């Protein structure tokens, strides 16, 4: 498969079906034979699979694509039905183009990269086998290359009897043709090509005869295995591939059903239920597993995996799969230096990465570890030893302190963290190149993280540490309130020369959302200022899709602010509805007691609402996208960077911890619902520390008592360890 394959709506993975008598052929997934007279096209996405149903010229195809949980393979499961009145003799072509190379090289030096792929037919196992003899591993443009081959083989087969194959793109497509009319399909003659250089594909031909109303089931499998392992076991017996694939699909579906049972939310709002119980946890899990890898939006070669993203992504799987988080945290902690600083991003294949000095990155360590501890109470984790990136090792508990101390050591002239290369907002990257510029958001974030850890130091009885961090918190609070209040809202930053960013005095970039949200979330903003800041945001930043990240957007470049001002107004960090930031505002509004406003913004952000105009929205309308273009740009409502966004985990947790108020703490689950008026009653099933909680919540407001399996408990903290039952029925409210 070609990286960012061009043209983009040619996804490959085609099954072309040709009527032998008429010579007419079409693809079971529509593309690339877009001009054929289809009577039906339907594409359904489920948890772990995509199913495309087409009807064309008396043939119905149901094509299900999925990746099994336990086999390194991609499966195309097909049911082909003859819906016409006459018997049909059909040629079936399964086709995929293989990249088999280094994505960057493929773009800039394909002729060279073309010397190393090989595709051959395995007569014994009846499959095409592809590999390459030389693996370009560099990330940049260099002639220095390691002397290694690609250690895998790719296998491609069809469960139907095979009548022909091709491994060469040129041979299969032919001259002056395209995927929509390959010469091999048009003539019905496969070339039987094997290649040792050139453009690799895997194409297989089969024949079937179908009586009227008869259905042929078959499966195409593309599998990957280390060269040392040989042909995967499930390919050894092609006769069993169909039942094997059905079992795999059942297991996959069962896996997701199990996974999603960890959280089932029932509110009066169908979109919320569908989001919190299905698509939002699913997106969060996919983000945790895959979305940070290279793909259309994310140049894996360029960015690798971001450390701050890594520590946020865990939030999304903690409820359903906390056991997957501990190893993930351990792994990510390897990118911390002994002085507490961190790489900003890393590359899993090479273990290398970049130290960019974004001011916030180290702080996501205590953020992530605290989230894990609060969910699991697995305090032993703090004693585990993890290596530093620059040699030596120390315990996880120590790593938290180092990250905090490093960040506290970075305070600048106003007592705020120096921004260096940027903060969470990557595009505020030229505010402090000389090392003097400071971040107001960063100060709030640091204060928030410090406060997050207070219960831990108290729990561990580390009085001195607790006091030290409490003092630091108070100092940050003072600095922000004394120096960063602009009259109606908080400033965003100070440049190297001391000038402010995010002031009403500016012509553009006056009001930044994050500084307001986090001043509230950190408990820094006194109530009156919190209300003023919220009012300003509501007045200037609220759009039909959520909150704009900044307004007015930059229309003139400000070299001493950064790339934000080079982004087009209304998109990306320059004034889009940047969903990640918008979600933080929802939490801030909730925290400030503005439940109805929080709900209104949350509701607008749900893909079911923001993606109502599908053709304008353009990306998958069932997951959150990084941003939706704001009214500051003519294409308002257009979204980008679907899947790949921290929004997913925050919207999930704001829904569950925020509105429903099920908040993990070290000693239990705090019950603090903040239901909007439209939800008089809700029910939640949530897994927590090995138990299943079935929570019924009626009404909102402070909880002074609740019942567990009919027993009254005073206060609002559910200590699950106080109960022996595995299922706890919890009732909150009258
Ligand atoms: O915070 C970043 C994130 O890490 C990557 N995407 C953009 C965000 C805002 O700049």
Residue 7 preceded by cis peptide, ω within 30: yes
Instruction: Report whether pLDDT(4) > 60.
Output: no
pLDDT of 670 reads: 98
pLDDT of 100 reads: 76
The whole-model pTM stands at 0.95
| 138-142, 333-337, 527-531, 686-690: least confident range | 138-142
Q: Quick one: pLDDT band at residue 228, thresholds 50, 70, 90? A: very high
Cα(503) to ligand 1 centroid in Å equals 23
Q: All domains of the chain, ordered by start, with CATH?
A: 3-257 (2.70.98.40), 261-659 (1.50.10.10), 662-732 (2.60.420.10)
pLDDT of 394 reads: 98
Cα(426) to ligand 1 centroid in Å equals 6
Taking residues 506-530, report their average pLDDT: 98
Strand (E) or helix (H) holding 625? strand 625-628
* pLDDT tens-digit readout, 641-679: 999 899 999 999 999 999 999 999 999 999 999 999 999
Q: Quick one: pLDDT band at residue 1, thresholds 50, 70, 90? A: very low
pLDDT of 8 reads: 55
Strand blocks (E) in 83-226? 88-97, 117-122, 127-132, 152-158, 162-168, 200-210, 215-226
Average pLDDT of the chain to the nearest whole number: 95
Q: Which atom of ligand 1 is nearest to the CA of 309?
A: 4
Q: Which atom of ligand 1 is nearest to the CA of 308?
A: 4
Torsion of CA 234, 237, 238, 240, to 10 degrees: -80
Q: Quick one: pLDDT band at residue 304, thresholds 50, 70, 90? A: confident
Q: Can you state the percent helix, strand and coil of the chain, rounding each to 5?
A: 35, 25, 40
Cα(566) to ligand 1 centroid in Å equals 16
Sign of the dihedral through C-alpha 260, 266, 270, 271? negative
Query: Could you tell me if the CB of 641 is within 6 A of ligand 1?
Result: no
Distance separating alpha carbons of residues 119 and 113, to the nearest angstrom: 15
Taking residues 214-239, report their average pLDDT: 95
* pLDDT tens-digit readout, 693-712: 999 999 888 999 999 999 99
Q: Quick one: pLDDT band at residue 603, thresholds 50, 70, 90? A: very high
More confident residue, 431 or 350: 431
* pLDDT tens-digit readout, 712-729: 999 999 999 999 999 999
* pLDDT tens-digit readout, 201-210: 999 999 999 9
Instruction: Report whether pLDDT(189) > 80.
Output: yes
Instruction: Report whether pLDDT(19) > 70.
Output: yes
Residues linked to residue 417 through DSSP beta bridges, in sequence order: 411
pLDDT of 7 reads: 46
pLDDT of 139 reads: 65
Query: Could you tell me if the CB of 309 is within 6 A of ligand 1?
Result: yes
Query: Within 13 Å of residue 249, how many CA atoms lie on the same side as its CB?
Result: 21
Cα(254) to ligand 1 centroid in Å equals 34
Instruction: Report whether pLDDT(347) > 90.
Output: no
Cα(460) to ligand 1 centroid in Å equals 34
Residue 307 burial (CB count, 10 A): 25
Query: Could you tell me if the CB of 445 is within 6 A of ligand 1?
Result: no
Distance separating alpha carbons of residues 365 and 332, to the nearest angstrom: 9
Taking residues 600-607, report their average pLDDT: 98
Q: Among residues of the chain, what percentage have pLDDT more than 90?
A: 89
Question: C-alpha distances in angstroms, 494 versus 362, 423, 428, 474, 524?
Answer: 21, 13, 11, 20, 18
Q: Quick one: pLDDT band at residue 328, thresholds 50, 70, 90? A: very high
Residue 140 burial (CB count, 10 A): 8
Q: Which residue among 299, 360, 426 is best mutated to probe the pocket of ligand 1, counting the most ligand atoms within 8 A of its Cβ?
A: 426
The answer to whether the CB of 626 falls within 8 A of the CB of 645 is yes
More confident residue, 295 or 237: 237
| 346-360, 447-461, 475-489, 512-526: least confident range | 346-360
Q: What is the DSSP string of 700-732?
A: -S--SEEEETTEEEESSEE-GGG---SEEEEEE
Query: Could you tell me if the CB of 424 is within 6 A of ligand 1?
Result: yes
Taking residues 320-328, report their average pLDDT: 97
Residue 587 burial (CB count, 10 A): 22
């Amino acid at each position: 498969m070609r990286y960012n394959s061009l043209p983009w709506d040619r996804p490959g993975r085609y099954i072309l079906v040709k009527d032998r008598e008429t010579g007419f052929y079409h693809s079971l997934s529509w593309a690339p034979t877009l001009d054929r007279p289809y009577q039906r096209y339907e594409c359904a996405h489920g948890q772990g699979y995509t199913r495309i149903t087409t009807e064309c010229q008396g043939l119905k195809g149901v094509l299900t694509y999925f990746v099994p949980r336990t086999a390194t393979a991609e499966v195309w499961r097909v049911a082909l039905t003859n819906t016409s009145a006459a018997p049909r003799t059909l040629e079936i072509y399964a086709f995929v183009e293989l990249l088999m190379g280094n994505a960057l090289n493929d773009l800039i030096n394909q002729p060279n990269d073309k010397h190393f792929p090989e595709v051959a037919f395995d007569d014994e196992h009846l499959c095409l086998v592809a590999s390459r003899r030389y693996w370009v591993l560099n990330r940049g443009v260099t002639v220095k290359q390691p002397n290694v081959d690609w250690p895998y083989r790719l296998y491609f087969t069809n469960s139907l009897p095979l009548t022909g194959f091709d491994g060469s793109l040129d041979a299969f497509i032919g001259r002056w043709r395209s995927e929509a009319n390959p010469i091999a399909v048009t003539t019905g003659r496969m070339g039987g090509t094997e290649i040792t250089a050139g453009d690799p594909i895997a194409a297989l031909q089969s024949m079937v005869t179908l009586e009227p109303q008869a259905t042929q089931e078959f499966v195409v499998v593309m599998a990957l295995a280390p060269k040392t392992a040989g042909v995967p076991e499930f390919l050894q017996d092609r006769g069993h591939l169909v039942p094997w694939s059905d079992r795999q699909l059942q297991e996959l579906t069962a896996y997701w059903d199990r996974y999603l049972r960890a959280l089932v939310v029932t509110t009066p709002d169908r979109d919320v239920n569908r989001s919190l119980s299905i698509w939002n946890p699913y997106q969060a899990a996919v983000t945790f597993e895959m979305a940070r890898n290279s793909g259309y939006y994310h140049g894996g070669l360029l960015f690798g995996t971001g450390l701050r993203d890594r520590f946020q992504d865990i939030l999304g799987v903690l409820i359903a799969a906390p056991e997957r988080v501990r190893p993930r945290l351990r792994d990510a902690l390897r990118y911390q230096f002994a002085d507490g600083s961190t790489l900003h991003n890393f590359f899993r294949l090479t273990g290398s990465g970049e130290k960019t000095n974004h001011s916030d990155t180290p702080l996501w360590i205590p953020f992530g570890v605290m989230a894990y501890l609060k969910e699991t109470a697995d305090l032993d984790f703090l004693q585990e030893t993890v290596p530093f990136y620059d040699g030596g090792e120390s315990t996880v508990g120590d790593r938290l302190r180092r990250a905090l101390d490093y960040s506290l050591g970075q305070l600048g002239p106003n007592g705020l963290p120096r921004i260096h290369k940027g903060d969470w907002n990557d595009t505020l990257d030229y505010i402090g190149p000389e090392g003097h510029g400071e971040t107001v958001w960063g100060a709030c974030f640091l204060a928030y993280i410090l406060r997050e850890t207070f219960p831990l130091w108290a729990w561990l009885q580390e009085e001195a540490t607790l006091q030290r961090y409490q003092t630091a918190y108070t100092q940050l609070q003072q600095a922000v309130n004394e120096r960063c209040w602009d009259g109606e809202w908080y400033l965003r930053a100070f440049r190297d020369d001391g000038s402010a960013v995010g002031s009403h005095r500016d012509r553009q970039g006056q009001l930044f959302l994050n500084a307001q949200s986090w001043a509230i979330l950190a408990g820094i903003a006194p109530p009156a200022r919190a209300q003023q800041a919220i009012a300003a945001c509501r007045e200037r930043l609220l759009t039909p899709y959520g909150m704009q990240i900044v307004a007015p957007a930059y229309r003139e470049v400000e070299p001493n602010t950064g790339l934000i001002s080079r982004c087009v107004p209304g998109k990306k960090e320059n004034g889009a509805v940047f969903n990640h930031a918008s979600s933080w505002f929802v939490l801030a509004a909730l925290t400030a007691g503005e439940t109805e406003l929080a709900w209104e913004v949350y509701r607008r952000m749900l893909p079911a609402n923001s993606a109502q105009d599908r053709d304008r929205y353009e990306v998958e309308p069932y997951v959150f996208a990084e941003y939706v273009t704001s009214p500051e740009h003519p294409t308002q409502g257009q979204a980008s960077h679907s899947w790949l966004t921290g929004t997913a985990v925050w919207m999930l947790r704001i829904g569950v911890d925020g509105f429903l108020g099920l908040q993990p703490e070290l000693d239990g689950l705090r019950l603090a619902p903040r239901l909007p008026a439209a939800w008089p009653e809700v029910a939640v099933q949530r897994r927590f520390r090995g138990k299943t909680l079935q929570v019924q919540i009626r009404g909102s407001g402070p909880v002074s008592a609740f019942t567990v399996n009919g027993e009254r408990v005073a206060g609002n903290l559910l200590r699950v360890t106080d109960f022996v039952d595995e299922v706890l029925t919890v009732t909150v409210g009258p």
